Amino acid sequence: MLKKSTQKKPKYDMIAIGEAVLDVFLEVDEATVACQVKKEECQICFDFGEKIPVTAVTRVPGAGNASNVAVGSSRLGLSSAVYSVIGNDQAAKEIRQNWKNEHVAMPFVVTDKKRPTSYSTILFKEGERTILVYHEPRKYELPKLPSASWIYYTSIGAGHEKLEKQLIAHLKQHPHTPVSFNPGTHQLRRGLKSLLPIIKLVTVFIVNKEEAEYLLQTKEATMRTLLQSFIDLGVKIAVITDGLKGSYATDGTTFWHQPIFNGDAYERTGAGDAFGTGFSYALATGHEIPEALRYGTANSWSVVKYIGPQKGLLTKAQMKTVLKKYASTKTELLKD
């Protein structure tokens, strides 16, 4: 368990830094789509030039990794705030209303008056999905942040390097602030060497197996080796998720594996954000790593039962209920 700071309690329990977008979910008509489902992969196939009907359309304003974490943290009872850049359009108004409804503070939200809000379209079928995402070009600049009990740094658009340097400077000024880092596409594409300055400062580093292999430039390493590699780079807790195989974590001394909770998945967008939210929340509220893996798993288990990344995010009471229901699905020591 992380040591609690003796400093005065910060204004926010969680500040999430990253992207916020308007998500539009399209449920693809089964009769017009060829979907080949294998154990670990699914292909949604369309005939080029065809007009493809959908069975349902769902709008989720205020999606995006950082927004999902801020909303999820608030649902669990933390005072949360979000940094993101949104447009000055109808989508932005909907996003702000969603944050207001979810009790997410907005003093660090920046309005881009020249460009609209970023947008994603998600095609989904049989629990799998394909995301078409467009990030508006932005000039990211981190506002002056107060001290926080926890910071969650996650996916953000191209051109974020200046913001990351500002975040590094903030963390050096507040060395006791725990940080979860769950990099997104634009961060990952910079490569491991470019990410090392921020990786060395974070408390929790969360990626999926494919992302871990991409950063470490390996396809043959064991899960234990992948986890240890990130500990060797300076993180205190390394976490790797691996879909239906569950999640894995280490503090550099002990290695754990958490199986998934059994249940059907309707739509998987936001599962990773839900996991990271639950895991970070558990650590922030005094739980050990094995229990944090269960909190993350419970939150992810709930989110995939619904369309979109936020509807299934658990409240504190709901979290207790799910953990009790799956009490027998325990965290295990990772076998060699």
Structural domain of residue 180, as residue ranges?
14-18+62-85+138-333
Percent of the chain at pLDDT > 90 equals 80
Alpha-carbon span 170 to 206, nearest angstrom: 21
* Domain-located, residue 50: no
- The answer, yes or no, to whether residue 40 has pLDDT greater than 60, is no
* Domain-located, residue 164: yes
* Domain-located, residue 126: no
Task: Out of 20-29, 60-69, 170-179, pick the least confident.
Answer: 20-29
Contact 52, 31 (CB under 8 A): no
* Domain-located, residue 249: yes
Q: What is the mean pLDDT of residues 140-167?
A: 96
* Domain-located, residue 162: yes
Q: What is the mean pLDDT of residues 189-202?
A: 97
Contact 305, 312 (CB under 8 A): yes
Give which of 203, 181, 178 is closest to 192, Cα–Cα. 181
Give the dihedral sign, CA 130/135/140/146. negative
* Contact partners, residue 156, CB within 8 Å, separation at least 6: 17, 18, 19, 66, 140, 163, 184, 186, 187
40, burial (CB in 10 Å: exposed 0-12, middle 13-18, buried 19+): exposed
Summary mean pLDDT of the chain:
92
Query: Strand order of the sheet with strand 21-28?
Result: 54-63, 21-28, 119-125, 128-134
pLDDT of residue 125: 79
* Contact partners, residue 306, CB within 8 Å, separation at least 6: 266, 267, 312
Alpha-carbon span 159 to 161, nearest angstrom: 6
Here the tokens at position 309 are 């990344």
The string of pLDDT tens digits covering residues 101-147 is 999 999 999 999 999 999 999 888 776 778 888 889 999 999 999 98
Q: What is the mean pLDDT of residues 188-197?
A: 97
CATH code, domain carrying 230: 3.40.1190.20
Residue of 148 and 29 predicted with greater confidence: 148
Number of structural domains, the chain?
Answer: 1
Give which of 203, 149, 148 is closest to 181, Cα–Cα. 203
- pLDDT level of residue 65 (50, 70, 90 thresholds): very high
* Domain-located, residue 48: no
Contact 274, 302 (CB under 8 A): yes
pLDDT of residue 259: 98
Residue found by looking up tokens 């899960």 in the block:
223
Which alpha helices (H) appear in the chain, and where do they start and end?
65-75, 90-101, 161-173, 185-188, 192-199, 209-216, 223-232, 271-284, 289-303, 316-325
* Domain-located, residue 129: no
Alpha-carbon span 132 to 129, nearest angstrom: 10
DSSP state of 312: T
Here the tokens at position 210 are 């494919």
- pLDDT level of residue 50 (50, 70, 90 thresholds): confident
pLDDT of residue 32: 45
Task: Out of 130-139, 142-151, 268-277, 319-328, pick the least confident.
Answer: 130-139
pLDDT of residue 8: 67
* Domain-located, residue 52: no
Contacts 24+ apart (CB under 8 A), 101-105: 102/62, 102/70, 102/71, 102/74, 102/75, 102/310, 103/74, 104/67, 104/70, 104/71, 104/74, 104/80, 105/12, 105/79, 105/80, 105/81
Alpha-carbon span 182 to 88, nearest angstrom: 27
